[in-house]
Amino acid sequence: MLKSGAVRALGTMSGTSLDGVDAAVIVTDGVTIAAFGETAYRPYTAPERATIAAALGRWPDGDGVEAAAEIVEAAHAQVMAGFDDIALAGVHGQTLAHEPNGGRTHQAGSGAVLAEVLGLPVVWDFRSADMRLGGQGAPLAPFFHFACAKWIGAEAPLAVVNLGGVGNLTWIDPAFARPEDPGALLAFDTGPANAPLNDLMQDRVGQACDHDGALAARGQVDEAVVAAMLAQPYFLRMPPKSLDRNDFAGLVGRVADLGDADAAATLTACAAAAVARGLEHCPQPPSRLLITGGGRLNRVMMRMLAQRSGLPVIPVEEVGLNGDMLEAQAFGYLAVRVARGLPTSCPATTGVAAAVGGGQVSRPS
């Protein structure tokens, strides 16, 4: 049993950008944030990244999935072993496939294996319960974003935008008491963010990403490509809604005839334009956009987002949060909620039929 009050929970995240495993401690009772603790990062090597990338889009019995899962588990075990005095851990795993309209999702990495290796209770498989009740299974960080808005003392509605492989947005009204209260939250995936850009960079120049937007800064945006992306049906659908990393993989093909710099600038603009279009769904305009994920380190993406949204665009560090570790912290927070029987998603965040707590708990034997 989890002791009462705030506990030290360890959360991990391995995102769709396939860069590595983030791990972070959060001290929480599952409702409020008491403190943020130490963090660590374990990057994937190039061969590891290639093995995981080869398994993308595949389900548990697919070719290469077992090899990818072993890499994910070993990397998690390595980074998680460096923390002490942990009450429980929340492990998201590595998403290989996500098919919300088909009611299925696949994250590689077994929490049961990690519980045995680490000797800790591990909460994992966070998305399945939501999807069984008709939810999209994503995004799952919004309840944590709500707690962060309370922690920073926000008073006016705001939005947290995660620019990872896929972009997602959480609109928050901090006047509400609980994240599951009707009107407190709206959350959805905005569209492609860094995934197409990272794929382009890997294919064309052998780099994992466009560091600081250096390549995009030298290019011109092909607005016809941006407009064609925004014309896709996904952008007309009302939220909640979610995406798989590869749902917009065709964007890289749309810039095939552009030079490297123009292609990078165009894919960067696509990420910003997707968020700006998503803001049209918000109940009221947010007072500011707090940006987390790798995109906040891309000055060109940040500038384009400010231009296209017309709103203050602020890295989360400016309000005292850690943009590198926010998602890992989220799964530590959600793990405590699961252990205490509190919901982790609701109709306004995933489209689930009712507020539901996801995740299964594995304990070492």
Domain boundaries, the chain: 7-138+325-342+356-362, 153-319
CB distance 290 to 169 below 8 Å: no
Q: Tens of pLDDT along 202-236?
A: 999 999 899 999 999 999 999 999 999 999 999 99
Task: Write the CATH number of the domain with boundaries 7-138+325-342+356-362.
Answer: 3.30.420.40
What would the DSSP string read from start to end of 24-48? EEEEE-SSSEEEEEEEEEEEPPHHH
Please report the pLDDT score of residue 88 as a whole number. Answer: 97
The tens digit of pLDDT for each residue in 256-269 reads 999 999 999 999 99
Please answer whether residues 122 and 88 qualify as being in contact, where contact means their C-beta atoms are separated by less than 8 angstroms.
yes
Phi then psi for residue 301, to 5 deg, are -65, -40
Residue 2 pLDDT class (50, 70, 90 cuts): confident
Confidence band (pLDDT; 50, 70, 90) for 255?
very high
**What tokens were used for 27?**
């001290």
Say if residue 292's pLDDT is above 90. Answer: yes
Domains 7-138+325-342+356-362 and 153-319 share a fold: yes
The CATH superfamily label for domain 153-319 reads: ATPase, nucleotide binding domain (3.30.420.40)
pTM of the model: 0.94
Alpha-carbon distance values, 193 to 85, 246, 322 (Å): 36, 11, 19
User: CA 343, CA 341: separation in Å to the nearest integer?
Assistant: 7
pLDDT at 186: 98
| DSSP codes, 207-273 | -SS-GGGTTGGGS---HHHHHHHHTSGGGGSPSS----GGGGTHHHHHTTTS-HHHHHHHHHHHHHH
DSSP 81-144: TT--S-SEEEEEEEEEEEEGGGTEEEEES-HHHHHHHHTS-EEE--SHHHHHTT-------HHH
